[in-house]
Chain A
Amino acid sequence: MLPTYQDHRVNFVNMLAYRYSEPKRGDVVTIKLAGPSVMFMKRIVGLPGETIAFHRGHAIINGEPLNEPYVKNPCDWEIPPRTLGADEYYFVGDNRSMPEYDHTKGVAPRARIAGKVLL
C-alpha cells in the first residue's frame, strides 16, 4: 500500500465499519485469509456488478477512467475487462510500481472484508 501506508507500521482497523453500511470505492480495508492472524490491506476500486479493467496501471470502471490520486508511481499494467458478481469487490494496492504479476490484487466476496483501516 505504498506510498499511502508504510511497511511495518501499526495500523488500526474498525471491524464494525461495515456492520450497518456497505463498503465504498476508495475504502482501504483488511481482507481475511484463513483467519484473523494475518490479513491483506488493500483498496476497494471495483464494486459489485461493475466492469473493471486496467490501462497503463490505472483502473477503468465501466469504461471510464477512475480518478486515483493515491497512485503516485506510474506503471504499465494492462488487464482486460472483467465484470464483478453481485457479491464481489475488486481490491488492489496503491503501489503500482511493481510488476503486475507480483502485485497481490483481485476479486473477493464481501465476507472476506474484515474491516476498514483507520488513518
Chain B
Amino acid sequence: MTKSSVGKLAVLLAIAAGIAYWFWPASPERIIKKQLMEVAKLASFGPSEAPLAKLSNSQKLTLHFANELEILIDVPGRAHQQVFHSHDELLQAAMGARSTLGSLQVEFLDINVTVGPDKTTAVADLTARIFISGDKDFIIQEIKISLRKIEGEWLIYRLETVKTLS
C-alpha cells in the first residue's frame, strides 16, 4: 500500500468516525447534562433582559420540569427553606427573581448523572455556582436533581439543595 493510499484511508476513516459520532444516538447521561446546562442558562439573566424575554425565558424554564414537582431550597444565609410544588409557583419565583435582582448567573459544575436500571429515571448531583449582581461573593450549593422520562422527554420532578456539611 502506497503512502498516498494510506493517507486517503486515514482520511476516510476519520470522516466515517465523525459521521458515526454525529448520528449515533446520544446517551441519556449526555442528554440530561445538556438539558441541565439549558436549565442553568434559563435561570440566568442579565440586567438588560427585555420584559418579553423575562416572561418567555421563565416559561421555558418551567418546561424542563414535570407537572407534579417538588423544589426544596435551603441555602444558609441566603434562602430559608423555600418550597415550590407547581409550574405556576416556579414561574412566579423566576419572574420575581428577575424583577428584584439586577442580574443572576447560574452555573452547574461537576454534573454526575446516574440513570436508573429501568432507563426512565435518573438522578443528577451537581454543584451550582451562583453570581448575584451587587454581591461580593458567589453562592456555592450542592444540588440533587431527580428526573423522569415522560413521553420521550427527561423532566425534573424533584430538585433539592444538599447539605454538604450536615
Chain A residues within CB distance 8 Å of chain B: 7, 31, 33-38, 40, 42, 91, 99, 101-108, 112
Q: Count chain B CB atoms within 10 A of each CB in A37, A103, A107, A108 and give the residue with the most.
A: A37
The DSSP consensus for interface residues of chain B is strand
Is B117 on the interface with A (CB-CB < 8 A)? no
Q: List, in ascending order, chain B residues with CB within 8 A of A107's CB.
A: 165-166
Tell me the chain B residues, 115-130 only, with Cβ under 8 Å from chain A. 125-127, 129
| Residue numbers in A under 8 Å from B30 (CB-CB) | none
Kindly specify which of B52-60, B93-101, B104-112 makes contact with the partner chain: B104-112
Contact A37–B127 (Cβ < 8 Å): yes
Interface residues of B (CB under 8 A from A): 76-77, 109-112, 125-127, 129, 137, 140, 142-143, 163-166
Report whether B166 and A35 are in contact in the complex, using a CB–CB cutoff of 8 Å.
Answer: no
Cβ distance A112 to chain B, nearest Cβ, rounded Å:
7
Which listed residue, A7, A31, A102, touches B164 by the CB 8 Å rule?
A31
Nearest CB to that of A88 among chain B residues? Answer: B166
Q: Are A105 and B125 in contact (CB under 8 A)?
A: no
With contacts A101-B77, A102-B77, A104-B76 taken as known, whether A37 is within 8 angstroms of B164 at the C-beta atoms is no
Shortest CB distance B59–A (Å): 28
Q: A101-B77, A102-B77, A104-B76 are in contact. Are A34 and B110 (CB under 8 A)?
A: yes
Chain A residue contacts of B164, Cβ below 8 A: 31, 33, 40, 104, 108, 112
Instruction: Enumerate chain B residues within 8 angstroms of A103, measured Cβ to Cβ.
Output: 76
* B127 and A33 contact, CB distance less than 8 A: yes
In the complex, the 9 A-B pairs of residues with the closest C-beta atoms, listed nearest first: A35-B110, A106-B165, A102-B77, A37-B109, A34-B110, A34-B127, A33-B127, A33-B142, A34-B126
Least Cβ–Cβ distance between A79 and chain B, in angstroms? 13
> What's the nearest-Cβ distance from chain A to residue B78, in Å?
9
Say whether B129 contacts A108, CB under 8 Å: no
Please name all residues of chain A whose beta carbon is closer than 8 Å to the beta carbon of B129 when the two chains form the complex. 38
